[in-house]
């Protein structure tokens, strides 16, 4: 997943149904001698709206909690979509614009408090390690770097097959990956993690070797490939938001026909378009263990 030099300004066309990080605040500077508990937080996606519905499918959202021993204050940190998941996964086809228009950014959100009921009721709130104030402050510097350079949300993991040893063509970049990077950063700084099982959700597409198609300019620009441009727009059209149930089912049949019967998927990744020759089982949601770090690895960034 590519790092960028800076985060671009968002376009006013992109509107969030739910305001991003409404109670967010700056990460505080902790006293060096503080002892800070670190908590693994996990709950079903959209739990605030649908309760445990997506929990049954193991579609989970991840965050990390902190508790300062000196002040008794709790904090939550998470990384998620600025304009909701649909906008990060599929583009808008706007009148008068040849290229699909993406409202895709993800970012870190830090705020005071831990909503115990939200995490405990249908999910997880468990102590994973304890760190010093110094380690917390170093982590905060890394979060700033990570947040300014890793800006695009990526829903899909793309693999060659369901085999555990199968090659990964594209890796996702979403809430759980931020938590895994944070845990690794804390391990690099000397944190020792408790031995507990930690599972995460991945949404996987299965494909043969991807074919590189080009970027927005080379496909949709004045010297672009008109046939390919039309095929990409046509592919994304059925994924638009639906006003009626009937409209949804008509488009769902189009999607099944394209992805499963014709084995086609167009992926936009690192600002480039790829063609995925899809293969069975096409798509799978998995909830599998990614162990907590057990020592220092080379850290990315600071």
In terms of Cβ atoms closer than 10 Å to its own Cβ (0-12, 13-18, 19+), residue 115 is middle
Catalytic site positions: 61, 175
DSSP E strands in 83-198: the ranges are: 106-112, 124-132, 156-159, 168-170
84-87-91 Cα angle (round to 5): 180
Q: What single DSSP character describes residue 87?
A: H
Element (H, E) at 302: none
DSSP-H helix ranges across 20-166: 47-50, 53-56, 84-89, 116-122, 133-149
How far apart CA 63 and CA 291 sit, in angstroms, is 16
How far apart CA 209 and CA 211 sit, in angstroms, is 7
How far apart CA 243 and CA 228 sit, in angstroms, is 28
How far apart CA 181 and CA 200 sit, in angstroms, is 13
How far apart CA 225 and CA 234 sit, in angstroms, is 14
Q: Which two tokens stand for residue 156?
A: 């899909």
SS3 106: strand
What is the signed CA dihedral for 257, 259, 262, 265, rounded to 10 degrees? 140
């Amino acid at each position: 997943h590519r790092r960028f030099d800076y985060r671009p300004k968002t376009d006013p066309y992109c509107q969030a149904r739910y305001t991003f990080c409404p109670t967010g605040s700056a990460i505080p500077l902790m006293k060096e001698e503080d002892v800070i508990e670190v908590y693994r937080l996990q709950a079903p996606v959209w739990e605030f709206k649908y309760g445990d519905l997506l929990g049954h499918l193991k579609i989970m959202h991840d965050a990390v909690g902190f508790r300062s021993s000196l002040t008794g204050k709790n904090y939550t940190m998470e990384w998620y979509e600025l304009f909701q998941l649909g906008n990060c996964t599929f583009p808008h086809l706007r009148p008068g614009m040849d290229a699909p228009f993406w409202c895709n950014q993800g970012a870190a959100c830090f705020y005071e408090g831990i909503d115990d009921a939200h995490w405990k009721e249908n999910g997880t709130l468990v102590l994973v390690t304890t760190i010093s104030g110094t380690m917390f402050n170093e982590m905060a510097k890394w979060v700033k770097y990570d947040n300014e350079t890793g800006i695009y949300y990526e829903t899909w993991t793309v693999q060659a097959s369901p085999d555990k040893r199968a090659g990964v063509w594209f890796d996702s970049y979403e809430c759980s990956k931020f938590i895994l990077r944070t845990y690794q950063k804390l391990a690099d700084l000397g944190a020792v993690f408790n031995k507990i099982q930690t599972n995460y959700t991945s949404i996987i597409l299965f494909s043969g070797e991807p074919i590189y198609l080009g970027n927005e300019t080379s496909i949709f620009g004045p010297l672009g490939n008109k046939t390919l441009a039309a095929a990409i727009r046509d592919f994304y059209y059925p994924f638009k938001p639906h006003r009626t149930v009937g409209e949804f089912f008509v488009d769902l049949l189009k999607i099944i026909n394209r992805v499963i019967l014709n084995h086609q998927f167009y992926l936009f990744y690192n600002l480039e378009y790829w063609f995925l020759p899809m293969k069975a089982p096409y798509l799978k949601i998995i909830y599998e263990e990614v162990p907590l770090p057990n020592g220092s690895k080379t850290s990315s960034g600071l």
